[in-house]
Amino acid sequence: MANQISFNDKIINVGDIIAVHHLVREGEKVRTQVFEGVVLAIRGKDSGKSLTVRKVSGGVGVERIWPIICPTVTKIVVKKKQPAKRGKLYYLRDRVGKIALKAKKRTEIKIKDNAAKEV
């Protein structure tokens, strides 16, 4: 599927809250930095897939795009699974605060057999 990625035997879907551990090089030092946010989009095919992760830091939205085969990404941890109604969650860019983390959930509509009767 286009809106899920398998990384080290973990399935990552659009709408999940994940923490991406990646290496940051500052001069000669190398350290691991964690970027935690919502998966907005997954693009590409096969080994060319990439994922877009968004977080709000200090009231400013920050988005990062990582190719799945990037050598600087050491680990991805799924913090929370959230079912998403759409394949791309770009509408979360307009939201502010805690609601910016919540994707629209799938709902089932139950139809009764005798819903419309004439009187």
CATH of 4-86, one of 2.40.40.20, 2.30.30.790, 2.60.420.10, 3.10.310.50: 2.30.30.790
List strand residue ranges (DSSP E) for 14-110, in order: 17-26, 29-43, 50-57, 60-67, 73-80
Residue 35 near residue 18 (C-beta atoms within 8 A): no
Between 117 and 92, where is the model more confident? 92
103 pLDDT exceeds 60? Answer: yes
Asked if 40 and 63 count as a contact pair (C-beta separation under 8 A), the reply is yes
The pLDDT assigned to 119 comes to 43
| Cβ atoms of 68 and 51 closer than 8 Å | yes
pLDDT digits (tens, 9 = 90+) for 40-65: 989 988 888 899 999 888 878 889 99
Q: Calculate what percentage of the chain has a pLDDT beyond 90.
A: 34
In which band, very low, low, confident or very high, does the pLDDT at 27 lie, cut at 50, 70 and 90?
A: very high
Which of 38, 19, 21, 35 has its CA nearest to residue 83?
38
Domains of the chain: which residue ranges?
4-86
CB-based contacts of 10: which residues, under 8 Å, 6+ apart?
76, 78
pTM of the full structure: 0.74
Q: In this predicted model, what pLDDT tens digit does every residue of 77-90 receive, in sequence order?
A: 999 988 888 888 88
- For residues 86 and 104, the answer to whether their CB atoms sit within 8 Å is yes
**Average pLDDT score over residue span 19-31:** 94
